[in-house]
Structure 1
Amino acid sequence: MKNDQMPAGRRTFLRLGLTLATVAAVRVAAADPAGTPVRPGGEPPGTAAGPQARTETGGRGYRLRPMTGQGAPRFVPAAPPVRTRPFEALPEAGRDAMVLSFDDGPDPRYTPDILATLRTYGVRAMFFVCGEPAAGNRDLLREMADDGHVVGNHSWSHPMIPALSRPAIRDELGRTSEVIERTLGTPPLWYRAPYGAWNRNSFEIGAAMGMEPMAWTVDSLDWKRPGTATVVRRVERGAAPGAVVLSHDAGGDRSQSVAALRRYLPALIEDGYRLTVPHRS
């Protein structure tokens, strides 16, 4: 036998080993055809836990990053998808579900009466609060949360959002979220643009702060003070499965809004509607 030759049995053994290695490589490629490298924790870059999922604000943009050497960094949950339009209705909430929402508060003249009426009928609602009045009426925020209502972000000073720069939008939303979180222990998960005036910057910044945009399907126009009966009629005519009703508990004289709620709320319940709030895990 020459030095560069080997027994037939050994050649067969090596061929078998090479074949098995090739099959394994093909299986790996099929499972990850792009050959995406995987981090030690198991998530590829660019997924919800990867750096590409982080926004320019680093999650909640109104928070300061921990200083170097101050312990392990906090886990920041991935931001929700960036919407191109707000939620307007909740068709998944059930055929008998509706949502009542109140903007611009809290106001100690009207918000307590609205909360009392909702409590009387065991109904939960959404309150989109502005940071300026919220900062001075934290007890009303706590009352909202204690009754199971959703406390959302309605900006700090109720500006026209599309007229603002990105830093200004971030400040309007961030300061209000900070007040809510410091008062209730958790940040808001929903926000609504003043006047319903949304733009791409507001969607992106809101998502970076962990919030979803919520609009409405029924506008009571109660802020115009058209009369209690007119407000009641608009809400009852707009009632439908998944509808979201817009009313106000601040921003002016809201006595008609308070009186209208006392009339249309029992009527909606009698018609079989379940007044509820959206849920986010």
Structure 2
Amino acid sequence: MRRGYRSKGQDRGLSSGRRIAGAAVWTIALVLSACSAGSTSKSASQDPPGILQPSQEQQELSGSTGSAGSAGDAGLSGRVQFSTPAKQYRFIVGQSDPASPIPAPAATTDPASPLQAAAPVPAPAPTQTPTSPAASVKSKKPAIPVQRQQEQQAKRKLTLGELRHKYSDIFKVNGQPGVKRIALTFDDGPDQLYTPQILDVLKAHQVKATFFLLGKRAEANPNIVQRIVQEGHVIGNHSYSHPLFTKLSVEEYKQQIDRTSAILQAQIGYTPKLIRPPYGEITEEQLQWTGSNRYVIVNWNIDSLDWKGLSADQVSHNIISHARGGAIVLQHSAGGDKQNLSGTVAALSTVISKIKADGYELVTVPQLLKLSKQM
């Protein structure tokens, strides 16, 4: 027989060997699959569920055989090989055995595993949609509750103008603007120097005025108080010792008013209804006491500034240049030991004449405000 020539019997033997080798390969694959399925539960802590790896026996089998050729035909070892080193091949149960139950995949952190189960995605947290555009914008300055605003308003001291507006029924600074009447007033008396001179000028012009007297000076000069009343002028309460009321408590304010009222009532026969605060200053609490006791606060809207010791021309200018209907004019009939009021006395005649010439009537404060002079 020639070399390289094969008979029909040899061909048939070769074909049979190939079929046997192929069958052996598939047998080994099925065995590996079955064994891997059995070892899944043992390796769950190392590999993700649902993925089967070769068991130790399979690895040993794979290492011992090395190739399909060892099953029967060494000549096939160079053509068909089937090696299964550890973790080189994996068989997914769902693909090899559709009937087998597939456990839910879980996340794995095995760095050697080429297949990673997808980590579960958490459901998005519910978000709140603002009901209006303004709700989504943070305010730069937090809103203050209404109650807190009211408390802050209550603590804040009102200005003198705000007090006049709030207590307009008992806090007066002028009469009705449309009426051609003006009231002349004189503070801080009586004394024995300037008050008699002012009374002389008023009497000469037949003008009635209003004198806001200090209780302390009324005690010291009762005869001047009597003259003021006898000549038809009106007397008001200017405190006892001329303190700044805003520095006093309500009780101290009350004592100043009550003491002076008692002195004047004994001298003139009535308790004056009108009160003029020294310096024109008063607190809200004092105003509330004033109203509850039926007094009326009277300030002014024309200041002659005569207390500065001005000349007659300066005093008259300050009054005449501002004269208007319903005005209340502030002047002084007494002052401190070093205070010079000669300009007041010298200007008074000119002031009276000019105001009358302009068509105004000079009246008392009760006449201007249509109030009673007494309680």
TM-score range, shorter chain: 0.5 to 0.7
Structure number with greater CO (CA < 8 Å, separation at least 6) is 1
| 3-state SS in 1 of match to 2:334 | coil
| 3-state SS in 1 of match to 2:279 | helix
- Which residue identity does 1:224 align to in structure 2? K
Look up the match of 2:238: 154
Question: Which deviates the most, 233-242 or 270-279?
Answer: 270-279
Measured on the aligned residues, the alpha-carbon RMSD in Å equals 1.7
CA distance in 1, matches of 2:242, 2:285: 16
2:167 to 83, 90, 104: 83
- Written as runs of structure 1 = structure 2, the 5 A alignment for 1:261-272 is 261-272=348-359
1:115–1:209: structure 2 CA closer, same or farther, 3 Å change rule?
A: farther
CA distance in 1, matches of 2:211, 2:289: 20
1:240 to 319, 324, 349: 324
- Written as runs of structure 1 = structure 2, the 5 A alignment for 1:47-196 is 83=167, 86-91=171-176, 95-196=179-280
Aligned partners of 1:173 and 1:206 also within 8 Å: no
Residue 254 (str. 1) matches residue 341 (str. 2): yes
| 3-state SS in 2 of match to 1:101 | strand
Q: Highest Rg: 1 or 2?
A: 2
CA distance in 1, matches of 2:277, 2:318: 22
Look up the match of 1:52: none
Structure 1, unaligned runs of 5 or more: 1-81
CA distance in 2, matches of 1:192, 1:159: 12
Q: CA deviation at 1:226?
A: 2.4
1:118–1:190: structure 2 CA closer, same or farther, 3 Å change rule?
A: same
1:206–1:141: structure 2 CA closer, same or farther, 3 Å change rule?
A: farther
Structure 2, unaligned runs of 5 or more: 1-165
Q: CA deviation at 1:201?
A: 2.7
- Which residue identity does 1:132 align to in structure 2? K
| 3-state SS in 2 of match to 1:202 | helix
Q: CA deviation at 1:182?
A: 0.5
Look up the match of 2:302: 218
Partner deviation per Cα, 1:56-75 (whole Å, 9 max, x = no partner): xxxxxxxxxxxxxxxxxxxx
Aligned partners of 1:91 and 1:242 also within 8 Å: yes
Partner deviation per Cα, 1:225-249 (whole Å, 9 max, x = no partner): 1221111001001110000000011
Q: Give the TM-score normalised by structure 1.
A: 0.67
Aligned partners of 1:97 and 1:243 also within 8 Å: yes
Q: CA deviation at 1:215?
A: 0.7
Look up the match of 2:81: none
Look up the match of 2:130: none
CA distance in 1, matches of 2:171, 2:291: 11
Q: CA deviation at 1:205?
A: 2.9
- Which residue identity does 2:232 align to in structure 1? G
- Which residue identity does 2:271 align to in structure 1? P
Q: Percent identity?
A: 35
- Which residue identity does 1:264 align to in structure 2? V
| 3-state SS in 2 of match to 1:124 | coil
| 3-state SS in 2 of match to 1:102 | strand
In the alignment of these two chains, the number of paired residues is 199
Aligned partners of 1:103 and 1:128 also within 8 Å: yes
CA distance in 2, matches of 1:133, 1:163: 22
| 3-state SS in 1 of match to 2:239 | coil
| 3-state SS in 2 of match to 1:175 | helix
1:209–1:115: structure 2 CA closer, same or farther, 3 Å change rule?
A: farther
CA distance in 2, matches of 1:171, 1:273: 38
| 3-state SS in 1 of match to 2:235 | strand
Q: Give the TM-score normalised by structure 2.
A: 0.51
Q: CA deviation at 1:208?
A: 4.1
Aligned partners of 1:217 and 1:243 also within 8 Å: yes
Aligned partners of 1:169 and 1:205 also within 8 Å: no
